[in-house]
Amino acid sequence: MSFDQPWWLALLPLALLPLWVVPGRPLEHAWPGFMPPDRLSNALAAALRGAGALALAALVIGLAGPYRPEVEVERVGQGAEIVLVLDRSRSMDQGFAGARPAGPVPKGTGVEAIDYYSSQSPGRLRNSKGKVARQLLSDFAAKRTSDLFGMIVFSTLPIRVLEFTQKEAVIQAAIAAGNIGRGLSETNIGLALEAALASFDDRPYTGSRIVMLVSDGGDRLDDDTRERIAYQVRKQRVAIYWLYLRSGNSPGLKLETGEAPENADTVPEYVLHRFFESMGTPYRAYEASNSDALQQAIEAVNQLENLPITYLDTVPRHELAPLCFGAALAAVLLLLGASLMEIRRWA
């Protein structure tokens, strides 16, 4: 237990006053010496004195502001450790590929919504890829209640938004916070992946580890960055899931029939996809241009082995002053009731 204002405790000896107080004058025309010993009355008098002492002590302790500091508690669960890596570049404010006329937003999950939004032309799109991505991540996190989630948003530089936690309200708030402002024009996926992999540093391997990249474009990584990422992925035993939000006129993740072979070494999406495949670690890529993409990603993650996860959970600070004031109030009410029942003179 700790105190916000411990100097109030200097008044704590005042709680002894009810134990030393001299009883009041006896009833007129009474001679207590002739009365036999009354153990019940003696016990009641001692209880009232104790109530007075408790009232003063609880009041002084409450004024001192007692609280139980936050502590870290080791918990054991089942699931995976997932780092959400969300692209916040300017292109995420645009629409998906496709050209079907706009219609009413379908009701239901984000899986249904992505088919609607992916079928809109950019000029008639009601919601951007970034907004749809946050809705999909929100639905995904809500279905994985046993997992630990961390989150990084990135454009030119990565920003660590959320450390690993299992608290759903905090996770949903972090995902929603990505809706603030507009993104920058540049994207650096390499730095974002390095920051995501660094989230697992100094953490014991106790369950499946996933980096879920949500982006609408690729990146050409230099050799040093490739080497660092590949080393960290193997060291941390991380699986990478890339949810690729395809823009209008954007390429997919693989060469299409009739496409020039040299594009495989120049298109950033092709290059990044091929690099992920070459690392020899678990990797899945999903093009989010139809209603099956997210559903497949969720099912694939759900099929991962749910090993026991040991993690430290922070229990927040707990205020104890209300309990002290409540005890003081109860003691005062007891004394007040006893005072009202007291006989002050013979009938």
Q: Phi and psi (nearest 5°) for 206? A: -125, 5
Residue 39, pLDDT score: 81
Residues of the chain with CATH 3.40.50.410: 73-313
Q: Could you tell me the pTM of the whole model?
A: 0.62
DSSP state of 127: S
C-alpha to C-alpha distance for 33 and 43, rounded to whole angstroms: 18
Q: What is the pLDDT of residue 54?
A: 92
pLDDT of 55: 92
* pLDDT score of 33: 63
Contacts of 148 (CB under 8 A, 6+ apart): 77, 79, 80, 81, 82, 164, 165, 166, 309, 311
Q: What is the mean pLDDT of each run of 10 residues along the chain (347 residues)?
A: 88 85 58 70 84 92 90 74 83 55 41 43 52 78 82 86 86 79 71 90 82 81 88 90 74 64 70 86 77 64 65 81 93 89 65
Packed helices 110-118 and 129-143: angle between N→C axes, nearest 10 degrees: 160
Beta strands in 223-288 (DSSP E): 239-244, 283-287
Query: Which class for 121: exposed (0-12), middle (13-18), buried (19 or more C-beta within 10 A)?
Result: middle
Q: What is the pLDDT of residue 243?
A: 83
In the chain, the largest separation of any two C-alpha atoms, in whole Å, equals 119
Question: Which option is the CATH number for 73-313: 3.10.180.10, 3.90.1150.10, 3.40.50.410, 2.40.50.70?
Answer: 3.40.50.410
